[in-house]
Amino acid sequence: GNITQETILKDHQLVQSSDKLFRCQICQKLFADAPCLKRHKLIHTGENPFKCQVCQREFARIDYLKKHMFVHKYEKPFECQICLKAFKMASALKTHQVVHRDVKPFKCQICQKAYTSGCSLKAHQLIHTGEKPFTCQICQKAFAAVSTLNRHKRVHTGDKPFDCQICQKAFASSESLKRHERSHTGEKPFWCQICHKAFTRSSILKAHNCGNKRKET
């Protein structure tokens, strides 16, 4: 086809003005200013610095994030398990939950222990079912709760984050520290129901065999 004077002029102007443009070194695309080029480069790097505070989805550009936010305009996906009030953001739900701090409506039907959330109750119920879904990747030992697994891992790592404030001795768990502290305080919270002798540990109480027990047997 015929090349018009207008096409030739446009091509000529582009060549002349290209010196003033900002070129992407990866795809050679031209941009009018440095900020536009900077935004464009995110396409190549895969970097998504703009995060949605509602669903945590990430975007390369702020205008993409703003457009995405319309999805959540009337959406309230974060629901309080106690009063069923819904919130747009997880942070707002967390702030609200302080209201229910002392309310524990989720009760275990087996032992009657109560919890503030359904998730906590569900985790507790594993104790009764015998289910142990959390496995140590080092020794394959299984646990009912993730907190118990985390405590167990210290056996392998040697980590002892609990320090006695009196003698500075370190322990892997808060329970071990508590037992040790009784050696300083003299506290004996475990009592024999027969002879009323007191002990520092429940294991010592269980092993204890008083005279009254022998008479009964």
CATH, residue 54: 3.30.160.60
Poorest-pLDDT segment among 34-43, 61-70, 190-199: 34-43
Same domain, 127 and 152: yes
Same domain, 91 and 111: no
Q: Give tens-digit pLDDT for 16-34.
A: 445 568 888 878 888 888 8
Query: Is 7 part of a structural domain of the chain?
Result: no
Domain that holds residue 93: 50-100
Same domain, 153 and 168: no
Q: Give tens-digit pLDDT for 129-178.
A: 888 888 988 899 998 888 788 888 888 888 888 888 888 888 888 888 88
As for how many domains the chain has, the answer is 3
Residue ranges of E strands in the chain: 22-23, 30-31, 50-51, 58-59, 78-79, 86-87, 106-107, 114-115, 134-135, 142-143, 162-163, 170-171, 190-191, 198-199
Strand 190-191 with 198-199, pairing: antiparallel
Same domain, 140 and 172: no
Same domain, 81 and 111: no
> How high is the mean pLDDT of the chain?
79
pLDDT exceeds 70 at position 1? no
Same domain, 89 and 71: yes
Same domain, 169 and 211: yes
Query: Is 76 part of a structural domain of the chain?
Result: yes
